Copies of this chain bind each other. A is one copy, B any other.
Amino acid sequence: MADQNLNLPKVIMHGPPALSSVLQPSYSQNFHIINPSFLPLHQFISTHTHLCSTVYAMLCYPGYPVTAHELRLLPSLRLVVTPSAGTDHIDLSECRHRGIRVAGAGNLFSADVADLAVALLIDVTMRISAADRCLKRRTPFASSHFPRSFKLTGKKVGIVGMGKIGIEVAHRLEAFGCIISYNSRNKKPLVKYPFYSTVVELATNNNALVLCCALNDQTRHTVNREVMLALGKEGVIVNVARGALIEENELLRCLMEGEIGGAGLDVFENEPHVNQRFFLLDNVVLSPHAGFSTSESFTGIAQLVGRNLEAFFSNKPLITPVI
Using CB atoms and an 8 Å cutoff, list the residues of chain A in contact with chain B. 16, 18, 111-112, 115-116, 118-120, 122-123, 126-129, 131-136, 139-146, 148-154, 171-172, 174-177, 271-274, 276, 279, 285-290, 293-297
Count of identical protomers in the assembly: 2
Q: Which residues of B contact A297 (CB under 8 A)?
A: 151
Nearest 6 interchain pairs by C-beta: A175-B175, A140-B272, A111-B153, A141-B288, A119-B122, A151-B296
Q: Which residues of B contact A132 (CB under 8 A)?
A: 129, 285-287
The chain B residue sitting closest to A17, CB to CB, is B142
Q: Which residues of B contact A119 (CB under 8 A)?
A: 119, 122-123, 126, 128
Q: Which residues of B contact A274 (CB under 8 A)?
A: 135, 139-141
A169: min CB distance to chain B, Å: 10
Asked if B286 and A149 make an inter-chain contact with CB atoms under 8 angstroms apart, the answer reads no
Q: Which residues of B contact A279 (CB under 8 A)?
A: 136
Query: Please, could you name 15 A-B residue pairs with CB atoms under 8 Å apart, sorted by A?
Result: A112-B126, A116-B126, A116-B128, A128-B129, A129-B133, A131-B286, A140-B271, A140-B272, A140-B273, A141-B274, A145-B288, A146-B288, A146-B290, A149-B293, A171-B175
Residue among A128, A141, A288 facing the most chain B CB atoms (10 A cut-off): A128
Asked if B177 and A111 make an inter-chain contact with CB atoms under 8 angstroms apart, the answer reads yes
Q: Which residues of B contact A296 (CB under 8 A)?
A: 150-151, 154
Q: Which residues of B contact A111 (CB under 8 A)?
A: 151, 153, 176-177
